[in-house]
Amino acid sequence: MSSPSTIVGVDLGGTKIYAVAVVDGEVVATAKRSTPRVGGPAAVLERVADTIDKLGVAGAVRRIGVGGPGPSIAGSSLLGPAANLPGWDRPVDIAGALRRRFADAEVRVDNDVNAAARAEWLHGAGAGADDLLAVFVGTGVGGGVVLDGRVRRGAAGLAGEIGHLVVVPDGEPCGCGGRGHLEAYAGRAGIERIARRRHAEGEATALVELAGDGRMKSSVIAAAVADGDAMAVELVDRAADVVGQAVASVALVVDVALVAVGGGLAERFGEPFLRRIEAAAATALPWPSPVRVVPTVLGDVAGGLGAALLFDEERS
């Protein structure tokens, strides 16, 4: 399906709301607002509507796709629960609230990472492929899976949650309360947690010296690696290794060969990081690895674009 009319896509994140106006698969306008920290879902959805207004789309907004940080099942406009959004402790009907501001608009909802995977598949690193695993290595680790030309959403909208795959049984604590999960080793927050604990235990590292009391940004981690800091090199290498191990697990379950890796940490460390992921996946697979790891190409726009593409993806 293609249409000349504008579709709005919204990436609803824990810190910012990023809206895009899409015409024929091209982003023609963008707008950003911060996500409110109080006021619950009503305040957040008002801000989403404000952000859409800021796009300055001519005429009525008739189609709105929203990707957010929680589960969403196909054919529903419910999103959540979403721990990163204020007071969002249950599924919330996105469509109802947005229709009060945009009468007659059709609203579709998806998980933000699944939306980003859709965008990379249709207009990015996976264009033309039937299958794609998209992995985003940022503060945490998220994934989206495209199989046989469909974004897999799953019975409860939880498909692609590879950040919680166990890579080290009884290993490092994960933000979810579990142990040994992928994102406890590969996410920026996990790396920070490990580095600060080891530093507190007496191990020297430029990571903590450079970050001080502030957040240990990926630029800090990159600077420590560039300095040859042993712990930084070890933790970033291990991050790639466990992502590769998880990629192999996905390949064993659904036999996907094309893997696009993005997110802040992956973008920061570039090709060597991706090649190390590919090598680790090959080591973990019992046969010659078909897995090819490529960078994502859409950056910050992927989530919003992928949400808009909910209206374009006939087969999903």
Contact flag: residue 78 with a copy of itself (CB under 8 A): no
CA separation for the pair 38, 156 (Å, rounded): 27
Burial of 132 from C-beta contacts in 10 A (0-12 / 13-18 / 19+): buried
Contact flag: residue 259 with a copy of itself (CB under 8 A): no
Residue among 166, 189, 222, 233 that touches a copy of itself (CB under 8 A): 166
Q: Which stretch binds a copy of itself (CB under 8 A): 7-15, 48-56, 166-174, 186-194?
A: 166-174
b/e code 221-234 from CB counts within 10 Å (16+ = b): bbbbbeeebebbee
Q: Which two tokens stand for residue 309?
A: 């593409």
Contact flag: residue 52 with a copy of itself (CB under 8 A): no
Contact flag: residue 55 with a copy of itself (CB under 8 A): no
Smallest gap from residue 250 Cβ to a copy of itself (A)? 5
Q: Which one, 74 or 95, has the nearer CB to a copy of itself? A: 74
Of 49, 34, 61, whose CA–CA distance to 97 is shortest?
49
CA separation for the pair 301, 311 (Å, rounded): 17
Q: Look up residue 143 and give its DSSP letter.
A: E
Total chain residues near a copy of itself (CB under 8 A): 45
Contact flag: residue 257 with a copy of itself (CB under 8 A): yes
Binding mask 118-157 for a copy of itself (x = CB under 8 A): ------------xx-----------x-x-xx-x-xxxxxx
- Residue 204 contacts by C-beta under 8 Å, 6 or more apart in sequence? none
Q: Using CB under 8 A as the criterion, which residues of the chain lie in contact with a copy of itself when the complex forms?
A: 130-131, 143, 145, 147-148, 150, 152-162, 164-169, 174, 176-178, 181, 245, 248-257, 284-287, 290
